[in-house]
Amino acid sequence: MSKANPTMKDVAAEAGVALGTVSKVVNGLPVGESYRVRVEEAIRKLNYQVNSYAQGLKLNKTRTVALLIPNTQEPYYGSLAYHINSALLRRSYRMLLCSTDSDMGQEQEYIKMARQNKVDGIIGLTYNPNLVIEEGTPFIAIDRSMGQKIPCVASDNFAGGQLAAEKLADLGCRNVAFLRTGASLTNEPNKRKAGFENGCLSRSLPYEMKILNDGDSLEEFDAFLTKHIQNGRLTFDGIFCVTDSLAYYILKVLKRLNQRVPEDVQLIGFDGTRHFGVQDYVCSTIVQPVAEIAEMCVALLLQENMSVKPPLVCLPVSYAYGGTTAETPGAANHSEQP
Amino acid sequence: MSKANPTMKDVAAEAGVALGTVSKVVNGLPVGESYRVRVEEAIRKLNYQVNSYAQGLKLNKTRTVALLIPNTQEPYYGSLAYHINSALLRRSYRMLLCSTDSDMGQEQEYIKMARQNKVDGIIGLTYNPNLVIEEGTPFIAIDRSMGQKIPCVASDNFAGGQLAAEKLADLGCRNVAFLRTGASLTNEPNKRKAGFENGCLSRSLPYEMKILNDGDSLEEFDAFLTKHIQNGRLTFDGIFCVTDSLAYYILKVLKRLNQRVPEDVQLIGFDGTRHFGVQDYVCSTIVQPVAEIAEMCVALLLQENMSVKPPLVCLPVSYAYGGTTAETPGAANHSEQP
DNA sequence: GCCTTTTGTGAAACCTTTTTCGCAAAACGA
DNA sequence: TCGTTTTGCGAAAAAGGTTTCACAAAAGGC
């Protein structure tokens, strides 16, 4: 029977041709029709597969990309991993998954591994300000600017914040709040705050902010909201949360405080997270274009017709109704596909 | 300055030692102390990294494993991917993520890619009955038996079904139902049905089943439940759903039918899915030990002190309260960690 | 100081593929 | 049929490691 791991040499012997001819057939280079057929038959017969390791060693090109991401459990991350994998597959690239738990040591370790593994590039979602990336390793950052030399792909977070403010204004809110958890770094999602402020100001909508520091407990929000209750009514009639995850938490707090959503207070989150079983959004939200972010990262990394790499690419966000806002009159924007 | 991609030769020259000595230091083989120090200094100075491709080519061992999984967006899959990645990382193995969308062609394509890429083994969650796996490619299946030669790791689905039935009986149910979606294949999760029946019989608990075929719409469940309403009350006081995802859907249906959960009807799902933001279970559920499944797959694949590979490994499940059952008197089993 | 033991040296083979080059054979036009 | 063009051949080098082997140098014991 055929050998366990046939090489090109075996194929050449089987087909009765030269080694170089097999290489040409395998790589689709021009070769006489009769030879091509003979070689293809031998390949089928021996069940030959090229050895990517030999190929990679010779060509110094591995068609492999590493994805650094905190985990694949949270919906936004899991979804990114999925779409990036798809975008790479479409281009016949392989993906090494590096889930880092946002541990700085592990992130750096993975970068080292990626270098040993001669990946063609790295796509990374990390908030590590001390991450060292070698010159010469193509790197695309998601959601965090890492200097002029490294392109960053993100949603248009500023526009998203602004959109949330405008939406709340359109929905008749008179006094709103912005809630954000820690992450003191200068990363892209922080622009949601500035965008929201900008939107409130342009609509003359009074607002307050509650921003937690890194170590703070979520329960600070409970206290904050409780403090703003007068005669059993929350003084805010609109809340914008920095993520859907936080919005989901706040939803529970509001329930406990006997505030009805959306009748008493409307709530908008950020990300576009959907309920896993049914496909509804978990709350009214600013949807991140995850598939487009993934596609853009891959296109940028693989240099597809890009003469110059932009330092920052912002992709458009959209609003989606998810039950925690009053429906806009006449608007048919329930459960839009992202 | 140091070369962009220094090789062992460069290190040897820098340290003034023989090539073989560098190899020994890199691989932790015994070598004189003074030599080791010299070599390590040179490695640091040149910022040398071994080339995994050269190493893999020579040793025919790549320390890389491929994970075939439908996607990383659904919680169970995303969680598996995460834990398998962790288990591999702990052993200094790399992981190629292959998300297949359960597309049979793509699954086969990925197997081919894995072979080209000389992976040391494959872990696969696939329901493809026609998947061809080469002799000699170590393969571990999750949730589906693929013949005696391929070990399968799964939760103890039978025990899980049984546990669900017993729990409903303990909670005072008098008439229960089992709901399952398609998937006509002989895979492990199907044993949940047999386990549930067994549990009902042993407790003399009357039950009914509604099992959808592959093409059927979820709305068949709406009709089924509606049919079982008499005088505004559902005739079932307990429902076991084959997955949390389905349970979540059924929860919405029950709400629409004005049935209170858990007062009128208690609901148990399967998987142990948690709400992403807050960490509560999405419903009362039979929890799959995802981390343990991951660990077992990796240990089996890498042959860790296993003389013989068992064809099936079942791991213990547990019940967790998630709000859709009446609390068991005196039981303090809210939100157990999995 | 001599003999044995330890330890590193230097060179070569090997893993599989890609690519180059001089050469020979086949195909083709006139 | 001759000369030209095309096309494959066969061998070899290169990519960067691992491993082996005969040999030499240093270290240690007495």
Domains of chain A: 8-50 (1.10.260.40), 64-155+291-315 (3.40.50.2300), 157-288+317-335 (3.40.50.2300)
Q: Residue B220: in which H helix or E strand, if any?
A: helix B219-227
Contact between B94 and A117 using a beta-carbon 8 Å cutoff: yes
Distance CA(A159)–CA(A194), nearest Å, equals 9
Is B136 part of the contact surface with chain A (CB cutoff 8 Å)?
yes
Contact between B81 and A86 using a beta-carbon 8 Å cutoff: no
Q: Over chain A, what is the mean pLDDT?
A: 91
Give the DSSP letter of residue B84: H
CA of A209 to C1' of D25 (A): 76
At residue B56, does pLDDT exceed 70?
Answer: yes
Cα distance from N-terminal residue to C-terminal residue, chain A: 52
Q: Are A269 and A317 in contact (CB under 8 A)?
A: no
Q: Which nucleotide is nearest to B57 (CA to C1')?
A: C15
At residue A86, does pLDDT exceed 50?
Answer: yes
Distance CA(A154)–CA(A145), nearest Å, equals 9
Burial class (CB in 10 A: 0-12, 13-18, 19+), B105: exposed
Chain B 265-294, CB below 8 Å of chain A: which residues? Answer: 273, 275-278, 282
**pLDDT score for B326:** 93
Beta strands at A318-320 and A285-287: parallel, antiparallel or unpaired: antiparallel
CA of A25 to C1' of D5 (A): 23
In this structure, of A40-49, A281-290, A302-311, B23-32, the range with the lowest mean pLDDT score is: A302-311
CA of B55 to C1' of D28 (A): 37
Q: pLDDT by residue (tens digit) across A211-253?
A: 998 889 999 999 999 999 999 999 999 999 999 999 999 999 9
Is A246 part of the contact surface with chain B (CB cutoff 8 Å)?
yes
Q: Are A315 and A290 in contact (CB under 8 A)?
A: no
Q: pLDDT by residue (tens digit) across A256-276?
A: 999 999 999 999 999 999 987
Q: Which nucleotide is nearest to A60 (CA to C1')?
A: D15
Q: Enter the pTM of the model.
A: 0.93
The number of beta carbons lying within 10 Å of the beta carbon of residue B58 is 10
Distance CA(B309)–CA(B152), nearest Å, equals 10
Tell me which chain B residues have a C-beta less than 8 angstroms from the C-beta of A94: 96, 113, 117
Give the DSSP letter of residue B64: E
Cα distance from N-terminal residue to C-terminal residue, chain B: 51
Across the range A40-56, mean pLDDT stands at 94
Distance CA(A312)–CA(A301), nearest Å, equals 13
Contact between A53 and B74 using a beta-carbon 8 Å cutoff: no
Q: Are A122 and A140 in contact (CB under 8 A)?
A: yes
Closest to A275 (Cβ–Cβ): which among B81, B134, B248? B248
To the nearest whole Å, the CA of B195 is away from the closest chain A CA by: 24
Q: Please check whether strand D approaches the CB of A19 to within 7 Å.
A: yes
Q: Which nucleotide is nearest to A36 (CA to C1')?
A: D8
Q: Please check whether strand D approaches the CB of B26 to within 7 Å.
A: yes
Q: Which nucleotide is nearest to B21 (CA to C1')?
A: C8
Q: Are A200 and A207 in contact (CB under 8 A)?
A: yes
